[in-house]
């Protein structure tokens, strides 16, 4: 699989390494442009490349790995999201450490809001629950596999993302749709943060 990342920082770099180790290819993109990622791409090896955001969205699967506060910028790029499988790895935060101020989501989950922002995209919520320093570890530990929660309203897209997660050594656990799954997996919810192993 070719996986495109929008964002090329902690989360994107960390999961890219798992993907590359497992035989996938990655395209990283950021706000400042692909030339700023040259050193990183060299260190990641030949199956990694850098491209503008619009090109990264043409991969088989796209991962949103940018700040929540920047999501709106994607709406201004004229990207056709229809049918694209998009993994929402964002956490709905207005600020990071030390205060971690949460965005006001009203009664909805953050990925339902993302789905509205990217019309036609097949949104799968995943990769948001583990701190990158936990994510970077070998997913096989103590005879088990590290758990990765996943939810989506699109069963086929969820299956494809789950198979990618499995191929990189994680144990996907399906929490249902974006409303019910999102509510227990998004930032501040009980399943965001715990580092669990499926034995």
Ligand X SMILES: NC(=O)c1ccc[n+]([C@@H]2O[C@H](COP(=O)([O-])OP(=O)(O)OC[C@H]3O[C@@H](n4cnc5c(N)ncnc54)[C@H](OP(=O)(O)O)[C@@H]3O)[C@@H](O)[C@H]2O)c1
Binding site for ligand X (CB under 6 A): 6-12, 30-32, 53, 65-68, 70, 73, 89-91, 93, 128, 131-132
Is 62 or 89 the residue whose CB approaches ligand X more closely? Answer: 89
Distance in Å, CB of 77 to ligand X, minimum: 9
Distance in Å, CB of 143 to ligand X, minimum: 25
Is 149 or 157 the residue whose CB approaches ligand X more closely? Answer: 149
Sign of CA dihedral 190, 194, 198, 199: negative
Distance in Å, CB of 152 to ligand X, minimum: 17
With beta carbons less than 8 A apart as the criterion, state whether 98 and 44 touch: no
Instruction: Estimate the share of the chain in helix, then strand, then coil, as percent rounded to the nearest 5.
Output: 35, 20, 45
Give the Cβ contact number of residue 77 at 10 Å.
Answer: 11
Tell me the C-alpha distance between 97 and 199, whole Å. Answer: 32
Is 16 or 145 the residue whose CB approaches ligand X more closely? Answer: 16
Is 3 or 66 the residue whose CB approaches ligand X more closely? Answer: 66
Tell me the C-alpha distance between 23 and 164, whole Å. Answer: 11
* Residue 159 exposed, middle or buried by CB count within 10 Å (0-12, 13-18, 19+): middle
Is 116 or 156 the residue whose CB approaches ligand X more closely? Answer: 116
Length of the chain (residues): 199
Distance in Å, CB of 146 to ligand X, minimum: 14
Distance in Å, CB of 10 to ligand X, minimum: 4
């Amino acid at each position: 699989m070719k996986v495109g990342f929008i964002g090329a920082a902690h989360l994107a770099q960390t999961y890219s390494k798992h993907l590359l180790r497992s035989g996938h290819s990655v395209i990283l993109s950021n706000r400042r442009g692909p030339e700023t990622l040259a050193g990183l791409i060299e260190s990641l090896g030949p199956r990694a490349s850098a491209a503008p955001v619009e090109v990264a969205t043409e991969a088989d699967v796209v991962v949103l790995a940018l700040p929540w506060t920047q999501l709106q910028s994607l709406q201004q790029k004229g990207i056709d999201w229809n049918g694209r499988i998009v993994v929402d790895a964002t956490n709905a935060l207005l600020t990071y450490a030390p205060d971690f101020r949460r965005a006001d989501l009203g009664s909805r989950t953050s990925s339902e809001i993302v789905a509205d922002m990217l019309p036609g995209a097949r949104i799968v919520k995943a990769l948001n629950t583990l701190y990158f320093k936990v994510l970077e570890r070998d997913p096989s530990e103590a005879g088990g596999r590290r758990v990765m929660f996943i939810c989506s309203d699109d069963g086929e897209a969820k299956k494809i993302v789950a198979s990618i997660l499995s191929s990189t050594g994680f144990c996907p656990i399906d929490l249902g749709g974006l409303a019910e799954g999102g509510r227990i997996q998004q930032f501040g919810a009980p399943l965001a943060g715990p580092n669990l192993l499926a034995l």
